[in-house]
Amino acid sequence: MATPMVLVTGGAGFIGSNIVDGLLADGGYRVRVLDNFATGRRENLTHCLGDIEVIEGDIRDLETVEEAVSSVDMVLHQAALPSVPRSVKAPVTTNEVNVGGTLKLLSAAHKSGVRRVVLASSSSVYGDGEQLPKHEGITPNPTSPYAVSKLACEHYTKVFADIYGMETLAIRYFNVFGPRQDPTSQYSGVIAKFMTAALDDKPFTVHGDGTQARDFTFVENVVRANLLALKVDRLDGSAINVACGDRITLLDVIETLGTLTGRTSEIIFAESRVGDVRYSQAAIERALDVLGYHPSVSFEEGLRRTLEWYAVNRPDRRGL
């Protein structure tokens, strides 16, 4: 039997490139990457270019997508225009990339005979409801264009499962952090920004009062979930949460970083950002049922590993 080919869209990005590494470490797959390098970074793939195929192109271009899915068995769809604040500023572009690109991918994959598509979705689809933890039975209530776009993508993956018989799954990521997350972008995750602040002994900027809480999830846990999604017997178009099942405030993150670095830095409090969710925590029982998933790396361990990576790879040392 031929070794299955897996396409990773957005494979040069923070999460995508970590997934590529996970696939190569597994050893059971041929790997192809589709990325336009708008938010992904070429250097994230430099170490493995001899082991993968790279197609440079935009998920919005149907001809490029059709080329990318040719002879592919399964797709891990990470390509997206991320960030709630970015989507507030550019809702049309966010929709074109996330929804339009996903629909083109699903359509091309169906026509090409791709067996399975796994979508990177987001906890933002739940909105800002008070019920915690967030479980998949809660009616989504997106509060930003980004969240709306991810929910629309989930609906499309479900429709392609129901109508066309394609095996699909939507994985709702909860605040993923880890190596390769770009701290220099105005839209990057808060932990990436906190890392450089902690290492350079600069003030932490917190939007809001710092008591807002997230289910911060080390990227290795997300990689593991995606690899499990390639191996299970059957997928039916459902959506599942992938996280740690914890609730950690921004002030908790700063305190833990202080313990790890032995430094105490000033905190600057700024206005809350439009569209941000105040509290987020995942119920992860369905991920266990569907994938056999459980988090293998705790928040504290993930933060320690991430700090070690940034100590060597932060912008002033590696030109990120």
Output the DSSP codes for 79-136: -----HHHHHH-HHHHHIIIIIHHHHHHHHHHHHT--EEEEEEEGGGGTT-S-SSB-T
User: For residue 318, what pLDDT is reported?
Assistant: 47
Output the DSSP codes for 275-301: T--SB--B--HHHHHHH-----S-HHH
User: For residue 278, what pLDDT is reported?
Assistant: 86
- Give whole-number Cα distances, 269 to 88, 169, 204, 206, 208, in Å: 21, 38, 8, 5, 6
The Cα 254–Cα 259 span in angstroms is: 9
Selected residue with higher pLDDT from 20 and 183: 20
* Architecture of domain 5-176+217-245+281-296 in this structure: 3-Layer(aba) Sandwich (3.40)
| Residue type at position 99 | V
pLDDT over 50 (residue 320): no
Q: What number is the average pLDDT over the span 289-303?
A: 97
Q: What number is the average pLDDT over the span 248-255?
A: 96
Which residues does 190 contact at the CB level (< 8 Å), separation at least 6? 250, 253
pLDDT over 80 (residue 319): no
pLDDT over 70 (residue 316): no
User: For residue 300, what pLDDT is reported?
Assistant: 96
pTM: 0.95
Q: What number is the average pLDDT over the span 54-80?
A: 98
User: For residue 187, what pLDDT is reported?
Assistant: 62
Which residues does 149 contact at the CB level (< 8 Å), separation at least 6? 80, 87, 94, 95, 98, 99
Helix (H, G, I), strand (E, B) or coil at 206: strand
pLDDT over 90 (residue 183): no
User: For residue 55, what pLDDT is reported?
Assistant: 98
User: For residue 317, what pLDDT is reported?
Assistant: 52
